[in-house]
Amino acid sequence: MSSIPRDPALDSTLALFREGYEFIWNRCKRFQSELFQARFMGKPALCIHGRDAAQLFYDDSKLQRGGAVPRRIVTSLFGKHGIQTLDGSAHRHRKAAFLALMNATNLQRLMDETAQHWRRSIMEWEQSETVVLFDETQRLLTRAACAWAGVPLDAREVSRRARDFCQMVDAFGGAGPRLWKGKLARARAERWMEGVVQEARSSGLRAEPGTALQVMAALRAESGELLPARVAAVELLNVIRPTVAISWYISFAALALHQHPDSRLELAAETPGEAAEGYAHLFVQEVRRFYPFAPFLGARVRAPFAWRGHHFEPGTLVLLDVYGTHHDPQIWAAPEEFRPERFAGWNGDSFGFIAQGGGDPARGHRCAGEWITMHQLTLALHFLTRCVQYDVPPQDLRFDLARMPTRPRSGFVMSGLRSTPALLGPTPRLPSAFAARQTAAE
C-alpha cells in the first residue's frame, strides 16, 4: 500500500473553518493528490476529491452515513433521526416518501404557489426604495413552501419562521453564537412542526392527500410503526427548510445576472414556455456549479477497502470535496469562468457535478429536492429578467469563501423596482419537459 499525503497540521479543524470551501481543494492542489489524510477534532480522516472520489463516496457497500454526521450539524441543520443519518433499507424506505412528493403534479403546484408569491412580492417591492433580495426571497419561499406542504402559517408568523429556517442553514459552518442561533431555531421549528403533525394525525387539521404534511404525518418506519411525531416533524422540516434555502442560490443567480448582462438578455429573449429547457436551464446548472453552497460531504468507512493504493479502515471519516470538484480544470474547462453554455454539451455525469450530491437519489443520499431547486431557480430567473426592472445600487457584492454558507455580502440590494406587463403574463410551465423526461426514464 502506498503512503498518501498528510496535512502537516497536528489538527486541521481550525484550518477547515478558516479556509472554508477551499480547504480540501487547496491541499489537493498542493499535494497533487485526489486524497490526503488529516485530523479533525483529534480524529483521523481522509479527504477525497474529484469525479472518481464521488463515485466511491456513493458506493454504499464501502461507506455509510451512520455515525458520520457531527452532533453540531444534527442539532442545528438536520434534526435527530432524520433521513440523512439512515443507511440501507431503512434509508431507501424513508427516501421513497420524499421522492413520492416530487411528481409532476406536485411540483407544478409548488411552482404555481411560488409564482403567486413572486407577483405579490414584486407589487410590494415597487412601493419601497430598496429591497434586499436574499431577505425577501426567504419570506417569499417560506410562504410558498408552507402553503404547498399544507402547513398553516399565519401572515404574522412568516418573518420569524423564515428567520428560523435560515438560521438552521446558516449554522452549518459556524461556531459560537451562529451555531447556538441555529440550535435554538431548530428547537423552535421542531416544536412547531411536531404540533402540526399531531394535529394532522388527530384529524384536527385536514391534510390534503399528497401534501408533504400528509405524507410525513402518515409515514411509517420499515417495521410498520408510525414514526414518532417529532421524527415526522424533522422530515417535514427536511422538505420546507431546504426549499427556503434556495434563497442562497437566488441571490447568487441575481449576482450572475448583474455581472453577465449578455446572459440576462438571452434569458429575457426566451419565451417562458421554452425557458425550462433552453438557456435558463443551462444558466441554472451553471449557478449550481460555479457558486458555493455545500462545501463537502461526510461518510464513514463501512468495510475495509483500498482506493488509489490506500487502505481505508472501517470507521474512518471520509470527506468528499464538493466545491473543489466543481472548480477542478481537469473536470471543467476554465472552471473559474461563469459559462452557462458549458452545460449545452454536458454528458450528465452524476459524479462530476455534485452540487446536491451524486449518483441515484432513490438508492443513495443524493438530494431529494434537486427538481424543486432547479424549478425554483428557473422561476426566479423568469421574474427577475422579464417581470421587473431594477437598478443595482453600489453595495458589497463579494462573497467570502472562508464563510460557510456564503452569499453576496449585501444580500443583493435592488432599487427603483418597476414591474413590467409580463408580471401578470404566463409563467414557465414547470416541471420542465427535461424533468418529466428524467422522471419517465427512472
Q: Cβ closer to ligand HEM: 213 or 239?
A: 239
Nearest approach, Cβ of 271 to ligand HEM (angstroms)? 26
CB atoms within 10 A of CB 62: 18
Do 34 and 56 form a contact (C-beta atoms < 8 A)? no
Nearest to 186 by CA among 158, 170, 165: 165
Tell me: does residue 365 bind ligand HEM (CB under 6 A): yes
> Total number of residues binding ligand HEM (CB under 6 A)?
25
Nearest to 221 by CA among 353, 70, 82: 82
- Looking at beta carbons only, is 248 or 338 nearer to ligand HEM? 248
Pairing of strands 317-321, 43-49: parallel
DSSP per-residue codes, 421-435: GGGGS----SS-HHH
**85 Rama sector, left if φ>0, alpha if ψ -120 to 50, beta otherwise:** alpha
Q: Does position 297 bind ligand HEM by CB under 6 A?
A: yes
Smallest distance, ligand HEM to C-beta of residue 369, A: 2
- Report if residue 368 touches ligand HEM, rule: CB under 6 A: yes
**252 forms part of the interface with ligand HEM (CB under 6 A):** no
Given candidates 167, 263, 373, 410, which one binds ligand HEM under the rule CB under 6 A? 373
Quick check: 416 and 186 in contact, CB under 8 A?
no
| Three-class DSSP category at 318 | strand
- Select the residue whose beta carbon is closest to ligand HEM and give its number: 369
The window from 48-56, 188-196, 309-317, 349-357 that contacts ligand HEM (CB under 6 A) reads: 349-357
Is the peptide bond prior to 5 cis by the omega test (within 30 degrees of 0)? no
Q: Which of 140, 153, 245, 331: binder of ligand HEM (CB under 6 A)?
A: 245
The binder of ligand HEM chosen from 53, 83, 131, 229 (CB under 6 A): 83
**CB of residue 51 to ligand HEM, shortest distance in Å:** 15
The full length of the chain comes to 442
Instruction: Please answer whether residues 434 and 343 qualify as being in contact, where contact means their C-beta atoms are separated by less than 8 angstroms.
Output: no
Residue type at 94?
Answer: R
State the cell numbers at 437.
423526461
| Binds ligand HEM (CB under 6 A): choice among 47, 196, 239, 275 | 239
Our finding on whether 357 is near ligand HEM (CB under 6 A) is yes
Amino acid at site 177: P
Q: Which of the ranges 114-122, 308-316, 366-374, 429-437 carries the binding residues for ligand HEM, by CB under 6 A?
A: 366-374
Binding site for ligand HEM (CB under 6 A): 83-84, 95, 98, 238-239, 242-243, 245-246, 248-249, 293-294, 297, 355-357, 365-369, 372-373
